[in-house]
Amino acid sequence: MIKKMFLAVLAIGFFASSCSNDDDNGQAIASLTLDLNGLEALGADFVYEGWIIVDGVPVSTGTFTSVTFPQSFTVDATQLANAVRFVLSIEPAVDPDPAPADTKLLVGDFSGNTADVNSAIVGDFSNASGAFFLRSPTDETGMNNGNDHYGVWFGTPGMPPAPNFVLPMLPAGWTYEGWVVGETGPITTGTFTAFDARDSFDDFSETAQPGPPVPGEDFFINAPAGETFPLDVRGRTVVVSVEPVPDDSPAPFVMKPLVGVSGQETAPTTHDFGQNLGSLPWGEVTR
């Protein structure tokens, strides 16, 4: 009986060892742990994906959708030991391209077994600043009609208004977007990459007359559900976010480097943005 039990245990051990070798093809694996702060859930069509840079080549460490940390991933031990950098990107959930997308969000170099990661790959926002003014250039009733509190524009008023943002030019895969916080949540003013040109959006403007050559929006028509237009912008929070491209979420992305509150005065008065650098994600990666 003892001999039979010994042979059975030996057989089980041999079977388990064989399965282990089949699973990893004889390659040693190691654990990579992400402890990240400030990430928010993406839309249903996108996932986060980690990458280690080995001999100049990106190697995926796996995708995830949960933003609860820490999280650990198994990676080829030799590649992980030789990695010099960690990068986090945003990828399509169904992704035919094995390479990282342009939407790289976090980056950090390994020092020993850890890498401190931050959003410097998107831009340096340490000197971010800007101002906005209230005016409604698309109002059908004309200018100087007392309705300028129904529009917000990013810049310094003038003929024409002048841009005043101190913001980095974003790399491919990213764009800026303006927002005014309404009764039910943030309302977009449109996306933009240039500070001295109109943005991509005018769905809330009242006439076909174009707005000034700076980003912004009037709020007269096509109010979103739960909102009432015209929207009085006075006293409301105004935000500039950094958004991934493409973006399947109607809400602002986590990166909101500038936030301001509109006063009661319309143009030519300007209202300053303040820095909101605490919204920028960061973290630590350990191997």
Report pLDDT digits (tens) over 146-187: 899 999 999 999 999 999 999 999 999 999 999 999 999 999
Q: Strand pairing partners for 210?
A: none
pLDDT of residue 1: 38
In-domain check, residue 17: no
Total-model pTM: 0.88
* pLDDT surpasses 50 at 126: yes
Is the preceding omega at residue 246 within 30 degrees of 0, hence cis?
A: yes
- Sorted by sequence, the CB contacts under 8 Å of residue 188 that are 6+ apart come out as 177, 178, 179, 201, 217, 250
Q: Which helix (H) or strand (E) holds 22?
A: helix 2-24
What is the tally of structural domains in the chain? 1
What count of other Cβ atoms lies within 10 Å of the Cβ of residue 150? 24
pLDDT of residue 23: 47
In-domain check, residue 57: yes
Q: How far apart, in whole angstroms, are the C-alpha atoms of residue 52 and residue 81? A: 10
Average pLDDT, the chain: 90
In-domain check, residue 203: no
Contact criterion met (CB below 8 Å) for 190 and 199: yes
Which runs of E-coded beta strand occur in 65-173? 71-76, 85-92, 104-111, 114-118, 131-134, 151-154
Instruction: Please write the tens of the pLDDT for every residue from 47-63.
Output: 999 999 999 999 999 99
In-domain check, residue 44: yes
* pLDDT surpasses 80 at 220: yes
Q: How far apart, in whole angstroms, are the C-alpha atoms of residue 129 and residue 174? A: 19
Category of 164 on φ-ψ map: left (φ > 0), alpha (ψ -120 to 50) or beta: alpha
Instruction: Please write the tens of the pLDDT for every residue from 134-143.
Output: 999 998 776 5
Q: How far apart, in whole angstroms, are the C-alpha atoms of residue 89 and residue 284? A: 15
**Locate tokens 């929070």: which residue?**
237
Taking CA 178 as the corner, what is the angle to CA 47 and CA 228, rounded to the nearest 5 degrees?
105
pLDDT (mean) for 202-227:
91
Q: What is the SS3 string spanning 166-220?
A: ECCCCCCCEEEEEEEECCCCEEEEEEECCCCCCCCCCCCCCCCCCCCCCCEEECC
In-domain check, residue 282: no
Instruction: Please write the tens of the pLDDT for every residue from 74-115.
Output: 999 999 999 999 999 999 999 999 999 999 999 999 999 999
In-domain check, residue 32: yes
pLDDT of residue 210: 76
Burial environment of residue 130 by CB neighbours within 10 A (0 to 12, 13 to 18, 19 or more): buried
- Determine the structural domain holding residue 31 and report its residue range: 26-122
pLDDT (mean) for 226-248:
97
SS3 content of the chain, % helix, strand, coil (to 5): 15, 35, 50
pLDDT of residue 8: 39
In-domain check, residue 244: no
pLDDT of residue 197: 96
| Confidence bin at 144 (pLDDT 50/70/90) | low
Contact criterion met (CB below 8 Å) for 190 and 179: no
In-domain check, residue 183: no
DSSP state of 46: E
Structure tokens at 18: 């064989």
pLDDT of residue 208: 62
Q: How far apart, in whole angstroms, are the C-alpha atoms of residue 256 and residue 172? A: 18
Q: Strand pairing partners for 280?
A: none
CA-CA-CA-CA torsion sign (225, 233, 132, 141): positive
Q: How far apart, in whole angstroms, are the C-alpha atoms of residue 236 and residue 203? A: 20
* pLDDT surpasses 60 at 3: no
